[in-house]
Structure 1
């Protein structure tokens, strides 16, 4: 870490980076990013101060700790492993070809489904009285909900499997970007012409290239699985819950001793994450020892082909969205009826729109402000610091959200919408930077050199040449930033002090009990917001393409 920091500082202090950073736009980019990140540091101090022998002793003497740790390990390992295997199998079965292109077009809409809404829909689908049980009840002869724990099982298996299905979409999105940049399609064509089967090509040639490129996204999946709270509250066991839920409850308690115990649990979560990262590194080294390049022998077996697996994955998420829509308009709906006895809009009429407007304001503000900071950073900021901006994606969210909580308490700003917007930016900016960094680097530098030779300044070159050329990636980044903001649960709850309600916090709060129709309405609102923004971004990009064909 020290060596990486020295290398980073050396890069920042180099001539070109220093001149760019000291320009007015560069100073604005650095100051904006500093305002997002640096206030977190004093907020982490109380968490570090709480790491005492007494807090750790209280943590391990609590009867729930070890069971909660087991739930976390099971769910995190299952979700990361399933997401990796499923994403690679789906890609191997349809890449390259028309089915792969169709899957890429569908991914943004499915990725826009927030985690909390997905968890509520999955519960409606897979619970003992869920839609799946109703569909198969005539075949099974069920007149009452079966005693089967597909979700909320005591060991966190259901939580891990359902998280894995959701995170597989994220890895598919990453794989689409990696495969678009690399030579893998040409390699497959060449090796197929030499008589190699798809399965052998994938196992011996493509996977060794792709897995290192997936290292950071896999760390992001693992970090999210270890520290997820909203999905664990909906799909995970209740007594004891996962370690992240337990730590969150203790941190949010008014008792100082329990808060210290929660701080110790947060540190334990971080230690679990680092231990799993080390285990993954050992596994990768073991795979390298057994990996062999094609030696000329052709395997007789064919690899997985056809879009059956990708269709099944898309169908599952379509069923999740459909069951949310059904429950949002359901009247009386008793088991084992497949459909509600009548349809009513009463849930929509009774729904409070305040959380919706709050989420809309936070999402729009986070996306617009994040886009401005990211564009300034890409053009004028010290790019050697990019790795530090990506840290929120690969570090468990609970310690960071808790640090933000202590920071806003120290500043006396808890409970304000602007404070929550600041908290969201810590996660919105890395995703937007990840979306825009590739297209920004892929622009032909001769265009910018020509603009400079015609007398335009660096600032004029950015807003008159580079940013118009990046319009479609910018629109995609805005949609992704908006979706990330809408999905934030812990930062909203902590920085808002429980007084800033969004559709996400409302949906999770209602999921612990209450009318399913009311829960479904909030989940549907949470689902529709990012979908509408993604649709608007797509239409705007198509309109821009028609206006200027050179942007295509």
Structure 2
């Protein structure tokens, strides 16, 4: 039986992550054609798009690292830290597209912040000279990426700083007269930075290939490289298709170059850290500003969510009104439910396939599984393009089954990421005792091991559901515009649809992951009450 379960685990992983690698072959073959590179280089949009992409991806990765570290070094383990930890799951669950739409409602020339100051300048119409979203320098896109990825890195760092030896070193540094801020940057940061290498690479890869946020907040003339490649892939012209495939390879090359540059920077910093000055620095300014720092990072999320909800209920809200003149449920009553139902179906199917497969893999698959996280650490566009090539070959493009299959490439790694730590920490003696009582491995897992791990299993299911809900590129690419979800609907409406209708779809997109996490928490607590001592 063990061999059969191992075969199922390997087969599932190969179908989800191995098959798309075959789709990369045509893309790499195009990369060998000099003509394709000449076409790309001669396109007037390429170089400006390259600069914008490198700027937005690079600056957002750097600043999200700095801000996440600053939150840890300033507030761990204070009451402020506890409040941040309580808000962290909400900020992580908010899909990127919903957050980007909320930022548009907040920062746009007709947004809430401009409305707030409009009485001071006697503005009766949105200022035409103000470009706060879709600006030509991708500043708003960089800001959105920075804010969103800060909380992802903070989640990663939460697990790192809980290690006992790091806490002890921090306490020793403080006892020697170093401030918490100085101890964090000079003692903790050099030691955790190496462990942050893969998460930082994932953040940089996402910044390179993000399409939904770039369509909502990024410039359009020229767009980012990912949006440009997406537009060329959607064009039936063979020349545009050639350029798109080469551009997908360029994104992979940029990731490799970025990783190489980061490694050199790490070596340089390591040389600097090897010769500490030993000076105790005054941090009076930092102590003065620190109470406001956490609010600067949390307020944009709460304001964005609040504005999404207000706009979804607004029957009438004209500039420069700070609040709607009339509220109602007319937009909700007219909202299309098909995208919501489709999203629920795709996300549920993705979790029901990925979660059992992840459990089988952790028990009967290979222990070393770094390659399973490949979709998380390479730009999404080349991988999605490979999936599309395979769907075309199998004549499955535009089908619901192909869209669900495309989502699995991201849902499965995230579920494994959440489950692996808890799986490894579980005492192996439980399984050994069950086997001595006559249970085989399958029975021991089904009746002993997995019930003990129910809480992380439910958390992994909620994370997988949220990941599926947030998928824009695979849905739009593999679905060919025929599969509509709340994410694709929200992004398409952001280009010029009714704001209230857009807000409804964005609210639905934000609520679905929150609903999944609440359901997972409720089920875990209910099971714990029914089976005391298991959780």
Does TM, normalized by the shorter one, top 0.5?
A: yes
SS in 1 for 2:326: coil
Mapping of residues 167-316 of structure 1, within 5 Å? 167-292=149-274, 297-301=279-283, 304=286, 307-316=291-300
Residue pair 1:204, 1:292 contacting (<8 A) in 2 also: no
Whole-angstrom CA distance in 2 between matches of 1:99 and 1:461 = 42
Partner of 1:444: 427
**How is 1:395-410 mapped onto 2 (pairs within 5 angstroms)?**
395-410=378-393
Partner of 2:61: 80
Alignment correspondent of 2:98: 117
Aligned ranges 1:403-552 → 2 under 5 Å: 403-552=386-535
Q: Secondary structure at the match of 1:331?
A: strand
In the alignment, the residues of structure 1 paired with residue 191 and residue 41 of structure 2 have an alpha-carbon distance, to the nearest angstrom, of: 42
1:424-479 deviations in whole A, cap 9, x for unaligned?
Answer: 00011111111011111111122222222222211112111111111111111011
Distance in structure 2 (CA, Å) of the matches to 1:48 and 1:103? 44
Residues 304, 441 of structure 1: CA spacing in aligned structure 2 closer, same or farther, 3 A cutoff?
Answer: farther
Preserved CA contact (<8 Å) 1:70 1:155:
no
Match of 1:320 in 2: 304
Structure 1: give runs of 5+ residues left out of the alignment.
Answer: 1-19
Q: Are the counterparts in 2 of residues 424 and 491 from structure 1 also a CA contact under 8 Å?
A: yes
More off after superposition, 91-100 vs 278-287? 91-100
Give the distance between the partners of 1:492 and 1:152, measured in 2 at CA.
Answer: 24
Q: Matched residue of 1:60: which SS?
A: helix
Aligned-partner Cα distance in 1 for 2:413–2:229: 25
Distance 1:294 1:539 in 2: 49
Cα distance, 1:180 vs structure 2: 2.5
Which deviates more, 410-419 or 420-429?
410-419
Going from structure 1 to structure 2, the CA distance change for 1:201 and 1:294 (only over 3 Å counts) comes to farther
| DSSP-derived class of the 2:533 partner | helix
Structure 1 residue ranges (4+ consecutive) displaced by more than 6 angstroms after TM superposition: none
TM-score by length of 1: 0.93
Q: Aligned residue pairs: how many? A: 531
Q: Out of 9, 19, 26, which is 1:46 matched to?
A: 26
* 2:23–2:386 contact (8 Å) kept in structure 1: yes
The within-5 A match list for 1:54-65 is: 54-65=35-46
Q: Does 1:68 align with 2:52?
A: no
Q: Report which stretch shifted further, 272-281 or 502-511.
A: 272-281
Whether the 8 Å contact between 2:73 and 2:185 is mirrored in structure 1 is no
After superposition, the Cα gap between the structure-2 partners of 1:292 and 1:298, relative to the gap in structure 1 and judged at 3 Å, is farther
Q: Distance in 1 between matches of 2:494 and 2:277?
A: 55
State the superposition RMSD in angstroms. Answer: 1.7
- Would the aligned equivalents of 1:65 and 1:243 in 2 still touch at CA under 8 Å? yes
2:14 alignment counterpart:
34
Aligned partners of 1:125 and 1:320 also within 8 Å: yes
Contact residue 59 and residue 142 of structure 2 kept, 8 A: yes
Question: Displacement of 1:251 after TM fit?
Answer: 1.0
How many Å separate the matches in 2 of 1:103 and 1:548?
A: 31
Offset of 1:334 from its aligned partner? 1.4
SS at match of 2:193: helix
Gaps of 5+ in 2: none
Q: What SS is found at the alignment partner of 1:550?
A: coil
> CA 1:540–1:502 in structure 2 vs 1: closer, same or farther (change >3 Å)?
same
CA 1:365–1:302: 2 relative to 1, 3 Å = farther
Q: What is the match of residue 374 of structure 1?
A: 358
